[in-house]
Amino acid sequence: MKRIFLFLATNLAILLVLGVFLNVFSGVLGISQGTTSSLLFFAIIFGMGGAFISLAISKPVAKWSTGARVIKNPQNEKERWLLDTVAKQARQVGIGMPEVAIYDATEINAFATGMNRNNAMVAVSTGLLRKISHSKVEAVLAHEVSHVANGDMVTLALIQGVLNTFVIVIARLLGGLLDNLISNRDEENEGGGLVYHMIVFVLEIVFGVLASVIVMWFSRQREFRADQGGARLAGRQKMIAALEDLRDSHSESFLPQEVAALGISGREGWSRLFMTHPPLEERIASLKSQKR
């Protein structure tokens, strides 16, 4: 909670500085101070609001998109073992018991999602349960529980929200400036027509792609942290062995886009900049390089 508070405070301070900058240079940029305040308010509401709405509905969307079945009354020993293992790990890291679910897929994968540390879900694929041993499944569960304990879902939502806010603000500021230059308008005859909206649309796409690069970088870093957490909970060798099985299976993640970044195994990207997960070789090497 302290980490999240500091993150929010830092970014609110950045937005405050941005607001002061806009008010000081509003004349140069061709916007009124009233417009500046409205723009910041609009950007914060839609930028942060959109990210947190996505976070709030992440668990039901994940259940719907994967067809995950939450284990409420264990039907066999394997389901009982899953519940007991997650419960034990949750107690070790001091979080509320997550929902535990199984979804039907041949791939070896698992993911965690949820609004906060005490309202999360850990889901595993049927392929994971069939193809690797209990000790390795334990490590995969520990990796996902570590995501929950680290607050990774909330952190990524905060980062996405702040970046959304900046994209909205900067695209509209530059859009207004370029529109005025192209149309030869002055401050008293502001733009806002078709040309302005086309410019803003293009700029939002460009800046949105750049923002995605930043989000993906944070996503990759959190995978290393979750691997370390999984090693602490289940054992370093178990975590390494589980990642090696993922690597050797040569199976690409087929998780729906809504939860693809949450899986232990991510999708391959056309560029490293847009990969949600680091290559498995790097994750294995990172664990092996750590002191015992």
DSSP per position, 105-132: -SS--EEEEESSTTSEEEEEEHHHHHHS
Q: Which of 144, 204, 252, 258 is catalytic?
A: 144
Taking a C-beta distance cutoff of 8 angstroms, is the pair 236, 292 a contact?
A: yes
What counts of helices (H) and strands (E) characterise the chain?
A: 11, 4
Phi, psi of 229 (to 5 degrees): -65, -40
Angstrom distance (rounded) from CA 280 to CA 62: 24
Torsion (CA) 12, 17, 20, 21 in degrees, nearest 10: -130
Give CA–CA dist 146/155, Å, rounded.
Answer: 13
Considering 52-56, 204-208, 229-233, the range whose residues carry the highest mean pLDDT is 229-233
**What's the rounded mean pLDDT across residues 161-185?**
81
Cα Rg of the chain, angstroms: 22
Instruction: Answer whether residue 124 shows pLDDT above 50.
Output: yes
> What is the per-residue burial (b if ≥16 Cβ within 10 Å, else e) of 254-263?
ebeebbbbbb
Distance CA 137, CA 129 (A): 7
Query: 224 burial class (0-12, 13-18, 19+ CB within 10 angstroms)?
Result: middle
Highest mean pLDDT among 24-33, 129-138, 274-283: 129-138
pTM of this prediction? 0.80
Give kind and range of the element (H or E) at residue 229: helix 194-234
What is the structure's pLDDT at 259?
Answer: 66
Give the whole-angstrom CA distance, residue 87 versus residue 93: 10
pLDDT of residue 239: 96
Highest mean pLDDT among 174-178, 209-213, 283-287: 283-287
* CA–CA distance, 52 with 55 (Å, rounded to integer): 5
Mean pLDDT of the 61-76 span:
92
Residue entry with tokens 């719907």: 64
Average pLDDT, whole number, for the chain?
Answer: 81
Q: What is the pLDDT of residue 141?
A: 97
pLDDT at 261: 62
State the pLDDT confidence band at 250, using cuts at 50, 70 and 90.
low
281 catalytic? Reply is: no
Q: What's the whole-number mean pLDDT along residues 227-237?
A: 95
* Mean pLDDT score, 20-46: 59
Q: Which region among 11-15, 240-244, 251-255, 285-289 has the lowest average model confidence (pLDDT)?
A: 11-15
DSSP-derived letter for residue 261 is: G
- Angle at 261 (CA atoms; ends 255, 263), nearest 5 degrees: 60
Q: What was the pLDDT predicted at 242?
A: 94
Sheet of 110-114, strands arranged across: 69-70, 99-103, 120-125, 110-114
DSSP E strand boundaries for 35-95: 69-70
